[in-house]
Structure 1
Amino acid sequence: MSFLTSTWSYLPFANFKVEPALLEPYLPKGTELDLRGACADISLVGLRFENTRILNLPVPFHINFSEINLRFYVRQPGSNRRGVVFIKEIVDKPLITLVANKLYNERYETMPLDFALKENDQSNKVTYRWKPKEWQQLSASYLPKALPIEQGSNEQFILERYYGYSSYDAQTTYEYEVCHASWKHYKVTDFELSVNFEQTYGSAFAVLDTLQPDSVMMAHGSRISIENKRKL
């Protein structure tokens, strides 16, 4: 039985290029940075959880909710498994924070979080807002036609990730599989990023306040399942 099932939807990605040294302290043992050239990729991501079930059971008041996360990209040496490591995942549901941190050793934090969606025939817009101390915002405007992910594309590198990795301690890494169909994406026509990364993620990530996104994407999402963790 899957640990969690949900529909992930409305996923904007603001992607940055950073020096690998920024992320190396957060690498779980048994993984390495998945690099393209000299820089590493890190992404600020918004997403909606809908029709969520834990161990196939709906949890009252925790079925539909939003998340903001900051993540980077890793792989297992000598394998084709490519995945993600989360710096922090923000939700407004304390129970989600408790379960994810205790059972999956993730870095969830609870704070106020808003989601807004505007859709019409010509253009759609999604907005996520969260409040560590002051309100922060990630929004993307995009065309409504969904597009397939092309082989070898930037979208494929960022979006097609089917494993998550987290550190239990300096010597122990847990891996979990995230099962879903290959996503489609949308053409982004505009975006707004009003984020104090240092306030949200700490002084180590203040460098992101000085950078513009290398790319901004909008993913369609799908039904997903998060499988039970295993020790590497």
Structure 2
Amino acid sequence: MKAKEILKQSGHRPFEFPENSWKFYQEWNKTIFLHWEVNPDLVKPHLPKGMELDTIDGKTWVSLVAFDMNHIGIRSILKIPRVSDFHEINLRIYVIYKGKPGVYFLSMEGSKRSSCKVLRTLSKFPYRFSKMKRTDFSYASKNTEFDDSFHAEFELGNPLETKNKTDNWLTERYVVFQDYSKNIAEYNVHHLEWPLQDINLKKLEVNYPRFSDLINNKPDKIHYSHGVQVLAWNKIRHRT
């Protein structure tokens, strides 16, 4: 789908996208969402200064998202070879900053060293390299620096014809906030509403020692999506 057609569909967003032109294109494909309901007192210590914890019906959530990052490129420029396509796993919490609901990444892993280095430098996101391998029905990752590991085997089910309020709250997020130096970086994105479907986990091993109080092997909610095309804007810096 062309960018102008993606931009025409925005009724699912909780706020408008920026008026200036988008700059980057990427795709988030074959996406596994694992969500845990957690005690807010365990999440608050991870919040950077100035960010608030976002909740739904008084509940706080943490999510692990494992997917394929594809076709990263600058507007009107072809994708960058050996950087644009890789597997990614991120661990995110749900926040509000300057009135906008968004996400904040506790952890980001990529399957290519070159991609992690370039994106960490350009975006300030906390990318780090992990060994990853996936098939259409499995996903595995290992990081020796922090002894993090993830392994999932699954079967795909039927599309979700009706999504509830929590499904939308967890997936329809259109801004990322990330701290670096003395700044909070704001990254706005836009895509069509996530097409979700059921997923049956045949095997799941989640081991992130630094965040063992937040996530484990029994998520409270799971989703799968074949993916979305994503338009992204230049970062906005906020002094803290």
With structure 1 as the length reference, what TM-score do the two structures score?
A: 0.82
- 1:161 Cα deviation (Å)? 0.2
- 1:159 Cα deviation (Å)? 0.6
- Which residue of the partner structure matches residue 123 of structure 1? none
Match of 1:178 among 159, 184, 189: 189
Q: Which runs of 5+ in 2 are unaligned?
A: 1-20
Matched position secondary structure for 1:131: strand
1:111-151 Cα shifts (integer Å, max 9, x gaps): 2111210xxxxxxxx322111147531343222x433563x
Please give the alpha-carbon distance, in whole angstroms, between the structure 2 residues aligned to 1:94 and 1:2: 27
Please give the alpha-carbon distance, in whole angstroms, between the structure 1 residues aligned to 2:103 and 2:140: 23
1:164-190 Cα shifts (integer Å, max 9, x gaps): 000123x42110111111111002233
Runs of 4+ in 1 over 6 A off after TM superposition: none
Q: Which runs of 5+ in 1 are unaligned?
A: 118-125
Please give the alpha-carbon distance, in whole angstroms, between the structure 2 residues aligned to 1:65 and 1:47: 9
- Which residue of the partner structure matches residue 137 of structure 1? 151
Match of 1:196 among 197, 207, 214: 207
- Which residue of the partner structure matches residue 32 of structure 1? 52
With structure 2 as the length reference, what TM-score do the two structures score?
A: 0.79
Please give the alpha-carbon distance, in whole angstroms, between the structure 2 residues aligned to 1:101 and 1:3: 18
Matched position secondary structure for 1:30: coil
Matched position secondary structure for 2:213: helix
Change (3 A) 1:27 1:208: closer
Contact 2:42 2:214 in 1 (8 A): no
Change (3 A) 1:154 1:220: farther
Percent of pairs with identical residues = 27
Change (3 A) 1:130 1:155: same
- Which residue of the partner structure matches residue 225 of structure 1? 231
Please give the alpha-carbon distance, in whole angstroms, between the structure 2 residues aligned to 1:95 and 1:206: 29
How many residues of Structure 1 are paired with residues of Structure 2 in the alignment? 214
**Paired AA for residue 123 in structure 2:** Y
Match of 2:87 among 49, 63, 66: 66
Match of 1:147 among 147, 150, 160: 160
Contact 1:84 1:165 in 2 (8 A): yes
1:1-20 Cα shifts (integer Å, max 9, x gaps): 64531221111111111222
Please give the alpha-carbon distance, in whole angstroms, between the structure 1 residues aligned to 2:207 and 2:113: 23
**Paired AA for residue 21 in structure 1:** D
Contact 1:30 1:173 in 2 (8 A): no
